[in-house]
Structure 1
Amino acid sequence: MPTESTRARLMQETRDRILDVALEVLGENPDAGMGEIATAAAVVRRTVYGHFPSRLDLIRTLTERAVTEMTAVLTEVTASDAEADAAWAEFIARVWPVTHRYRVLLALRRGEYGEAIHSLLGPVDDLLADLVARGQHTEVFARHLPPDVLSQLAYTVLFAIADNARSDKTLNTRAATITTLLLLGVPQPQATTLTDNQP
């Protein structure tokens, strides 16, 4: 008989697998249902609903996971004394690997779960806006748009590049970093230098 701790570990592993598979399935088709996710995860629907009582619960959990990862990176990057443009370049380089996993949230944010996702992504939005405001204050970022709008445009472009990177291998971290810096108003030579300085 499995022990209580073994059962708990197995349940957690199943839950994590469902979340990982859900990101893949929803990345291919944002309208995919719980049945499709269950099939792809090699479990029955009841198992998925046992962990996530509704599709909204599943998407909320995916969003919370994304927020945790991205706020951790942003908090660390913005705590440094680096100029805002260098901090942005570091943020893009470090967050690029997870953009492939969470790009689906951008599509879902425009759908029926938009309000829930938008509220959960609030901490990420606020940190991005603060970083852009810092760059505008020191004149390394353009000032033609408010910081919250400009940061969201650059962030959206990051996900657009990640979404197309699966079919075009030239769309990589370097392309994403340079493009978003250009959008923020950083001159191309400086954007290229900042990007090439990333490890």
Structure 2
Amino acid sequence: MCNHAVMDGRRGTKQTNRDKIIGAAISAYESDPDATIGDIADAAGVVRRTVYGHFPSRRDLIIGIADQASDDLIRRLSGVADIVDDPILALATLELATWPVGNRYRTLLGVGRRELGEGRIRELLDPARRTTVTVVEQGQLSGRFSTELTPATFVVVAEAATLALLDRMNVGDDQIDGYTAATVTLTLAGVDASTRQKSIELAQRRLDGIGSETM
């Protein structure tokens, strides 16, 4: 029993260190895309050897950030899967639910693109893209969304708009938030201003009611 407790403690410490390193790296790369492993180790409160034990190279560290971003995105999507009951509310909910992930990991738009390539960043967005295509298809079939763009094209345009908003945040625009992103996406879908506002506010209230366990 004692050995099991020791092993569990070591695993817990290892995971804690990994999380601290990733958190420190995200912050470091936001302020300095060329931050070194030493900079990140100092910010995380560990020695460089500990960082290298988890991530043998800078590229491995950025892959670790990307993998965690993907996991967080999937978790956010699963948390809202059962609360939406109409396409407008669904689209608003998806945008609000996934915005915190994009905001937290927006450093990947710069460092990640450079180190991993545009394709890897696009892969991270696949779960949200597939879900959004389904919602847009439902919205168009029900007559709630504009049909000027195919669902696949709509998602490409909406995704580009969201990434552009995150890029604006990277250069210091602090007036942008999930409400902004949801407004842009619903506008692209052809939803009128009054319905947009009501749907976004309702989506936020419902998200607030989900609770941390499912989100």
Task: Name the TM-score class by shorter chain.
Answer: 0.7 to 0.9
Q: So what's the TM-score if we normalise by structure 2? A: 0.75
What does residue 185 of structure 1 align with? Answer: 190
Structure 1 unmatched runs, 5+: none
Residue 145 of structure 1 is aligned with which of 133, 142, 149? 149
Tell me the equivalent position of 1:134.
138
3-state SS of paired residue (1:3): helix
Query: How far apart, in 1, do the equivalents of 2:122 and 2:29 lie?
Result: 18
User: Do structure 1's residue 173 and structure 2's residue 198 form an aligned pair?
Assistant: no
On the 8 A contact 2:66/2:124 being kept in 1, the answer is yes
CA distance in 2, matches of 1:111, 1:168: 22
Go from structure 1 to structure 2 and tell me whether the alpha carbon gap of 1:12 and 1:155 turns closer, same or farther (over 3 Å shift): same
- Separation in structure 2 between the aligned mates of residue 109 and residue 143 of structure 1, nearest angstrom: 34
The code of the aligned residue for 2:190 comes to G
Unaligned runs of 5+ in 2: 206-215
Call closer, same or farther: CA 1:112–1:8 in 2, change over 3 Å: closer
Distance 1:104 1:156, change over 3 A: farther
Asked if structure 2 preserves the Cα contact closer than 8 Å seen for 1:93 and 1:173, the reply is yes
> Normalised by the size of structure 1, how large is the TM-score?
0.80
| Count of residues in correspondence between the two structures | 198
Alpha-carbon distance in structure 2 between the residues aligned to 1:32 and 1:134: 45
CA distance in 2 between partners of 1:108 and 1:150 (Å):
27
User: Within 1, Cα distance between the matches of 2:152 and 2:112?
Assistant: 17
Residue 66 of structure 1 corresponds to which residue in structure 2? 69
Q: 1:118 to 1:163 in 2, by over 3 A?
A: closer
Instruction: Give yes or no for contact 1:67–1:124 (8 Å, CA) kept in 2.
Output: no
Is contact 2:144–2:191 with CA below 8 Å preserved after alignment? Answer: yes
Q: CA deviation at 1:59?
A: 2.2
Deviation at 1:78, TM superposition (A): 4.2
The CA distance in 2 between the partners of 1:165 and 1:120, in whole Å, is: 19
Range moving further from structure 2, 16-25 or 157-166: 157-166
**What do you get for the CA RMSD once the two structures are aligned?**
2.8
1:118 corresponds to: 122
SS in 2 for 1:185: coil
Shift of 1:127: 2.1
Residue 165 of structure 1: how far off its partner (Å): 5.3
Pairing partner for 2:7 from 4, 9, 12:
4
Partner Cα separation in structure 2 for residue 135 and residue 29 of structure 1: 42
C-alpha displacement at 1:128, in angstroms? 2.5
Residues 60 and 117 of structure 1 are in contact (CA less than 8 Å); yes or no, is this contact kept in structure 2?
no
CA displacement, residues 36-57 of structure 1 (integer Å, 9 cap, x when unaligned): 3223223333221210122332
TM-fit CA distance, 1:142: 2.9
Instruction: Tell me which residue corresponds to 2:209.
Output: none
CA distance in 1, matches of 2:115, 2:132: 24
Task: Tell me if the contact between 2:74 and 2:127 (Cα under 8 Å) persists in the aligned partners.
Answer: yes
In the other structure, the counterpart of 2:56 is 53
